[in-house]
């Protein structure tokens, strides 16, 4: 059977007055849009490009990414590592919050610092290992693991988008799997005495007493800080006995909860009293339950650094993050014998995660049984 000519293998076509190339390779249709207006000179350029592609098909050198056949300014295989990370960020931008976008920008900057203009498709496992060591000198292993995971996703995305060759193994996968992260210490909950001391410190402070209701609410509900900061009066029942948690406010952005699942929480009488006293008779559905002193949403970072630390120091309670109010409620609840499923439903946890993270910090831990005595 006679071999097809280059003109038969790769056809020059006009689409809306502009030239494109069309061909089949292993049963799949390919198009290459040249961006050239149909004309004699452009046809000569297109015919030459078609011959190059046809020769590569015949000699088994065909580039499935098509990068080889594109103009230099359109070739994604000319992207360096930092530029590829920026492309990945742009593809995800609409679904990322400000904090994550900042993290992605820092990763891109670090890639630029370490690799300069090295092309992304030239990054191999040795380079990835070098980058890992660069990060470990500056960040904790758990943070490094997160950064490497992002880069692994970036490279997988680029391969899927045909920006990188499928034949190139993802250089971040093996380096990520080999990274050993020390086990994270479980949160040490506040004792009942420490909780009472902290609350007394807030209520008696001339400036920070504004936050006393917020802190007690956190201790008694186990809400995540962003969930409490974003709570609006419309999220509570008329008598403040039931709370809907389906949104979170973090660093200036209102978004879904951490696990993207809404939940209803039956509130205790004490929490109900706190909320009713705060609401009063003049209130609006959209108003925040726990606004900042000058109005608007609280900033959890500022609260931690300026307010929380100062109060704990004043009442001589060893420092733990404000998030520990959550583990405090859960651990005391478990210690009192509450069903973990009920706790998980109230706090928005996965039951397995709750047991893995908190069950070991209750006072009455299991002991081995001395059956010989």
pLDDT in the model for residue 131: 97
- What residue ranges in 213-302 does DSSP mark as E strands? 242-245, 247-250, 253-256, 263-266
Helix (H, G, I), strand (E, B) or coil at 226: helix
**What are 277's two structure tokens?**
């006293």
Q: How many Å apart are CA 358 and CA 354, to the nearest integer?
A: 6
User: DSSP characters for 169-189?
Assistant: --HHHHHHHH---PPPPPP-P
Q: Going from the N-terminus, what domains does the chain have, and what CATH number goes with each?
A: 6-62 (no CATH), 77-178 (1.10.150), 192-361 (1.10.443.10)
pLDDT in the model for residue 369: 39
pLDDT in the model for residue 1: 42
pLDDT in the model for residue 4: 60
Write the CB contacts of 350 (distance below 8 Å, at least 6 apart in sequence): 259, 344
pLDDT in the model for residue 72: 65
**Predicted structure pTM score:** 0.62
- Give yes or no for a contact between 36 and 42, defined as CB atoms under 8 angstroms apart: yes
User: 């680029």: which residue's tokens?
Assistant: 158
pLDDT tens for each residue of 285-299: 999 999 999 889 999
pLDDT in the model for residue 373: 37
Which element (helix H / strand E) includes 22?
strand 18-25
pLDDT in the model for residue 175: 94
Q: How many Å apart are CA 79 and CA 163, to the nearest integer?
A: 9
pLDDT in the model for residue 249: 83
User: 């004792």: which residue's tokens?
Assistant: 191
- Give yes or no for a contact between 193 and 246, defined as CB atoms under 8 angstroms apart: no
What is the radius of gyration, based on Cα positions, of the chain?
30
- pLDDT below 50 — which residues of the chain? 1-2, 363-373
Residue positions counted in the chain: 373
């Amino acid at each position: 059977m006679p071999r097809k000519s280059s003109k038969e293998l790769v056809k020059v076509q006009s689409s809306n007055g502009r030239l494109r190339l069309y061909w089949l390779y292993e049963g799949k249709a390919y198009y290459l849009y040249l961006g050239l207006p149909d004309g004699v000179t452009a046809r000569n350029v297109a015919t030459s490009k078609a011959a190059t592609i046809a020769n590569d098909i015949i000699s088994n050198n065909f580039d499935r990414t098509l990068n080889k056949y594109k103009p230099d300014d359109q070739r994604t295989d000319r992207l360096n590592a930092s530029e590829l990370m920026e492309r990945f960020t742009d593809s995800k931008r609409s679904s990322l919050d400000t904090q994550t976008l900042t993290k992605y920008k820092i990763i891109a900057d670090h890639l630029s610092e370490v690799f300069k203009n090295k092309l992304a498709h030239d990054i191999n496992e040795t380079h990835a290992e070098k980058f890992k060591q660069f990060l470990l000198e500056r960040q904790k292993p758990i943070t490094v693991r997160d950064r490497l995971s992002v880069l692994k996703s970036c490279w997988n995305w680029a391969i899927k988008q045909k920006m990188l060759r499928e034949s190139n193994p993802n250089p971040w996968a093996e380096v990520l799997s080999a990274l050993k992260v020390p086990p994270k210490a479980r949160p040490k909950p506040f004792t009942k005495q420490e909780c009472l001391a902290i609350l007394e410190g807030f209520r008696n402070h001339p400036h920070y007493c504004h936050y006393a209701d917020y802190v007690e609410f956190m201790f008694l509900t186990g809400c995540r800080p962003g969930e409490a900061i974003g709570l609006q009066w419309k999220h509570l029942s008329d008598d403040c006995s039931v709370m809907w948690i389906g949104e979170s406010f973090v660093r200036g952005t209102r978004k879904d909860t951490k696990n993207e699942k809404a939940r209803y929480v039956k509130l205790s009488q004490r929490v109900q009293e706190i909320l009713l006293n705060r609401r009063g008779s003049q209130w609006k559905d959209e108003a925040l339950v726990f606004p900042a002193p000058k109005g608007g949403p609280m900033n959890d970072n500022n609260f931690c650094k300026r307010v929380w630390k100062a109060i704990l120091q004043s009442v001589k309670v060893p420092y733990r993050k404000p998030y520990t109010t959550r583990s405090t409620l859960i651990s005391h609840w478990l210690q009192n014998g509450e069903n973990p499923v009920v706790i998980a439903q109230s706090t928005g946890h996965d039951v397995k995660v709750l047991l893995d993270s908190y069950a070991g910090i209750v006072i009455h831990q299991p002991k081995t049984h001395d059956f010989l005595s």
